Structure 1
Amino acid sequence: MSLAALNDIEDAIKATKRFLTPVDRVRWFRLAVVLFFVGGAGLTFPGAPTTGFGGDTDPVEPTPGDPAGPDITPEMTPELVALILGIAAVGLAAFLLYSVVGATMEFAFVAALRDEEVRLRRSVRRYWRRGLRLFAFRLAVWVVAIATAAAILLGVGASMGGWPPTVWGDGTILTVVILAIPVVGVGALVLGTLLGFTTVFVVPVMLAEDRGVLSAWRRFWGTLTDEPLEFLAYLFLSFLLGIGVSMAVGFLLVLLLIALAVPFLVVGAPLGFALVTAGAGTAAAAVALVLVLLYALLVFVGALLIQVPFQTFLRYYALFVLGDANPDFDVVPDARAAIRADGGADDDGTGGTAAGGDDGPDRPGDGDAADPNDRESGGDDDWNVGREDRDRDDDGDRW
């Protein structure tokens, strides 16, 4: 028996090529914005080394009679405590806002692949409530997972060393630490699979049938249990594909770092040398800071753009597997019909839907039968319109 999870890899590649070519810089940058919020950048910047400013960097020698040296511990005044709490509150609020927007962008990503157009502001207006529900589900899952792991470890420790944990001996602490390794490992595997399936399979079900998270999970669960081999194959293959994508992205990122570093060094090094020679050390430092920040910004944007085709392919792959497992959940029928009818290319070989050709199942606004699963489309949102017409939002804004 042939598994769709095997065949859909090639279909996902063709669909990605069809969607992203010919290259439209507006579409790519919009997708880069979406990936910034859904976590597709995959960026990990090493921490900058701690640098001392202000003259002598040698350690201060203790003076005779004062072996402990000077006391530089800051005094915990009410003002300092309020400042720390304020910074923590702002950081927490920013993290929560980013998480909510990221959950909303999951729907925007799927909708973009469905509509073959990326509309950021309209997607946020349309899907922010569902984004809130998805964020709440993710938060609840994390809380339950952490509470479960903590209960297991604390329960084992309490059974061996009593309560509270401050009375535990070295043997009890060592046992709990060793036990934490498999508990965290199994928990991460289960948690990652649950949240990953929620993102790539349950979110499309929510869009296809206008459901909440739990309702969509119950609806998807029947398909998951009916086709376990398909989803096990997807899980294994997506893991391998993720490794391959990470390696490819890492290689391209290294090339990007080198390519961008050359012009900055060509311009920045002589300019900095000239400023230092002229005695303008402060100006040289300011120029260096500006160049470093600009370089970091370009690398960040470039890394997001590098991720666009890879993350689009991975999401298309999941959507094809879902649609093959249950046609009721197929949210990309146009792409599926196009690539399986003509290999993903138009008569002119440019990709996309050929003018006057068959663009897949009928959609609202075609004048034919409407798709019964489409509950997201409004009366003024035609599916089968040219890409040049869909570049504009309902209010005439390209974004």
Structure 2
Amino acid sequence: MSDDYYAFSEISGAVDRTKNLLWPFQWGVWFRIALIALFIGGGGFNFPGSSYGDVSDTGLAPGSLPDLGMDNIGIILIIVGVVLLLALIWMFIGSVLQFVFVDCLTSGRILLTRTFKERSGKGVRLLLFNIGIGLIFLLIIAVLALIFFLPVMDGTPPGDALVIGTVLMFVLLILVLLIPLALIAIFTTDFVVPVMIRDDCGVIAAWRQVIAIFAPEWKQAVVYVLVKFVLGIAAAILLFIAVLIAVIIIGIPFVIIGVVLATVFKLMNIMLLLLLLIPFVVIVIPVTLLIEVPFVTFFRYYSLQVLGRISEKYALLPNESMDEPAV
């Protein structure tokens, strides 16, 4: 029964293609895919949300704002502008590399600059689409927040049962809304991107085509999402274990050096900690990305194979075994 669903039958094929591409080990191939993983989200970097304390802790009267001064405000605006610009550049590169990665795997030539310029236009469209979806989601959250919290913002104590219940319902609703957002992200990355390449079209046109492809095959789509979710959990566990082992191995010499300096030379301060921590992090980040390479490669092969089985028109991967990759 499971063989009738491509989400099951294409797992072994994706594993074989991943092994053929990555083994025997070649630094050039692994390094380039690791760089792709860094930008398309394989690196697992998160941006922590800001937290705000109670107004009473700032020494300001409720409703008042600190007098930052025009100079300080200007500096803050410049910093915010630079951060936003760097974030946009980062996201743009990541969007373009989504297409470049598909080009690499479908051709067997792992060369990042070969199609980067050619895919830049599609990368911009994908970036704008993702930003638009994100803004819509934030707008929905803002509207829901007003609907939920305006009725209880009448001086009701924070510990009141009504406030607690409202917060829990709001959080639950946000979690429910994250499901369609995640589905949009999955189908955009896994299927819309290769359709854009094959049809040389924009995001909306590609989405229409993806919907047309999966509408009669909706069971295949449901099973694919469920199987990928399970595979994602399994991969996350394996990745965590592998990274943890690598971190421990890398950390051993740094711990030894720290203990020696602390006991023999009586050196133990923040500066020494930073001197040990900085090279440790510099080593751990690329090692982590290299460990992620097989996982990132497998999942991209996996989605391409499922898409090719559902629609022969979008079978971008060659039928025969891939030749030795170009480095």
TM-score calculated relative to the size of structure 1: 0.71
Which deviates further from its counterpart, 178-187 or 311-320? 178-187
Q: 1:337 and 2:327 equivalent? A: no
Larger Rg: 1
Q: Which residue of 2 aligns with 1:191?
A: 181
Of the two structures, which has the highest relative contact order with CA contacts closer than 8 Å and spacing of 6 or more? Answer: 2
**Cα offset for 1:81?**
1.6
For structure 2, which runs of at least 5 residues remain unmatched after alignment?
A: 50-58, 60-64
Q: 1:100 and 2:83 equivalent? A: no
Q: Which residue of 1 aligns with 2:76?
A: 84
Cα distance in 1, alignment partners of residues 315 and 155 from structure 2:
55
Q: 1:144 and 2:117 equivalent? A: no
**Cα offset for 1:75?**
5.7
| CA 1:46–1:302: 2 relative to 1, 3 Å | farther
| CA 1:224–1:330: 2 relative to 1, 3 Å | same
**Cα offset for 1:153?**
4.0
Q: Which residue of 2 aligns with 1:113?
A: 105
Q: Which residue of 2 aligns with 1:365?
A: none
Deviation by residue 1:248-274 (Cα, 9 ceiling, x = unmatched): 010011101110011223344434655
Q: 1:315 and 2:300 equivalent? A: yes
Cα distance in 2, alignment partners of residues 228 and 179 from structure 1:
31
**Cα offset for 1:205?**
0.6
Q: Which residue of 2 aligns with 1:294?
A: 279
SS at match of 2:215: helix
Deviation by residue 1:45-67 (Cα, 9 ceiling, x = unmatched): 999xxxxxxxxxxxxxxxxxxxx
2:43 touches 2:289 (CA, 8 Å); kept in 1? yes
For structure 1, which runs of at least 5 residues remain unmatched after alignment?
A: 48-67, 339-351, 354-385, 392-399
| CA 1:45–1:217: 2 relative to 1, 3 Å | closer
**Cα offset for 1:129?**
1.2
TM-score calculated relative to the size of structure 2: 0.85
**Cα offset for 1:214?**
0.4
1:1-399 aligned within 5 A: 2-43=4-45, 76-155=68-147, 161=151, 167=154, 169=156, 173-174=163-164, 176-271=166-261, 273-276=263-266, 286=271, 288-332=273-317, 334=318, 336-338=319-321, 352-353=322-323, 387=325, 390-391=326-327
Percent identity between the two aligned chains: 28
Cα distance in 2, alignment partners of residues 243 and 27 from structure 1:
26
Cα distance in 2, alignment partners of residues 292 and 123 from structure 1:
37
SS at match of 1:123: coil
Deviation by residue 1:213-258 (Cα, 9 ceiling, x = unmatched): 0011111111110111111111000000000000001001110111
Cα distance in 1, alignment partners of residues 270 and 166 from structure 2:
50
Q: What is the root-mean-square deviation in Å for CA atoms of aligned residues?
A: 2.7
| CA 1:288–1:274: 2 relative to 1, 3 Å | farther
1:208 touches 1:330 (CA, 8 Å); kept in 2? no
Q: Which residue of 2 aligns with 1:395?
A: none
Letter in 2 for 1:95: A
Deviation by residue 1:104-129 (Cα, 9 ceiling, x = unmatched): 11111111111112222233212111
| CA 1:45–1:189: 2 relative to 1, 3 Å | closer
Which deviates further from its counterpart, 265-274 or 25-34? 265-274
Cα distance in 2, alignment partners of residues 250 and 29 from structure 1:
20
Instruction: Give 1 or 2: higher helix fraction.
Output: 2
Letter in 2 for 1:99: M
2:148 touches 2:170 (CA, 8 Å); kept in 1? no
**Cα offset for 1:186?**
1.5
1:206 touches 1:212 (CA, 8 Å); kept in 2? yes
| CA 1:120–1:179: 2 relative to 1, 3 Å | same
